[in-house]
Amino acid sequence: MIKKRLFTKILMMLFLAAQMGCVRFIILHDTLTAEEHNDLGVAYLKEKEFEAAEKEFKRAIKKDRYYWLAYYNIGTLYLQINKEKEAEHYFYKAIVYNHECADAYNNLALTELKQDDIRHAFYFIKLALEYAKEGRYRYLDTLATIYEKESNHEEACKALHASSEAAPETEKEAYQSRYKQKCTKLFSND
């Protein structure tokens, strides 16, 4: 009888322990908006938590398939981790939903440049410069990188100079320093 009682108590304790371990929270409805998922993705991206960022951007897109910023951000993520084809796909999607997104055109230029497609890189950077409302100095910097890749040092330095002149006061010194260092290096290699 004592053995039976002991066995029953052990069995009940195991059952309770199993029940306590099985407590789960189930989210039946995602209460976050597309913008909130996107913002979470950006935060994860800044921390270089790429898988978590990717999930959040995809959740944002699932919530709102027309939300161009999530497409742009996931494209940026893929560009950072050297998945150029995926990046290219998402930048194109961002442009479909916001055809004036200069940053997407700039990043498409960088994506094409990474794939050694100079012609398309020039095409996209020209669109970025055309649609630029602010941040033009960054696009001029990309243009300089394209010229440099093409070994057109004179045009690269012109673009770098224009970039350093267009940079905001908070970044002007860094861009001017980059211009001087880069052009000195480019012309010393000739």
Both 94 and 104 in one domain: the answer is no
Using alpha carbons, list the distances in angstroms from residue 54 to 50, 74, 117: 6, 6, 26
DSSP secondary structure of 68-124? HHHHHHHHHHHHHTT-HHHHHHHHHHHHHH-TT-HHHHHHHHHHHHHTT-HHHHHHH
Both 51 and 125 in one domain: the answer is no
Tell me, what's the pLDDT at 186?
A: 77
Look up the domain containing 107 and give its range: 99-190
Contact 93, 113 (CB under 8 A): no
Q: What is the mean pLDDT of the chain?
A: 89
- pLDDT tens digits for range 124-142: 999 999 999 888 999 999 9
Both 165 and 182 in one domain: the answer is yes
In a domain, 22, yes or no: no
In a domain, 23, yes or no: no
pTM for the full predicted model = 0.80
Both 126 and 143 in one domain: the answer is yes
Both 94 and 118 in one domain: the answer is no
| pLDDT of 14 above 80 | no
Angle at 124 between CA 118 and CA 126, to 5 degrees: 100
Exposure of 55 by Cβ count < 10 A (0-12 exposed, 13-18 middle, 19+ buried)?
middle
Tell me, what's the pLDDT at 185?
A: 83
- pLDDT tens digits for range 134-165: 889 999 999 999 999 999 999 999 999 999 99
Tell me, what's the pLDDT at 40?
A: 97
In a domain, 171, yes or no: yes
Q: What is the CATH number of the domain that holds 167?
A: 1.25.40.10
- pLDDT tens digits for range 94-111: 999 999 999 999 999 999
- Average pLDDT rounded to a whole number, residues 15-44: 77
Angle at 36 between CA 30 and CA 41, to 5 degrees: 105
Q: How many domains does the chain fold into? A: 2
Using alpha carbons, list the distances in angstroms from residue 70 to 39, 41, 45, 54: 9, 9, 12, 10
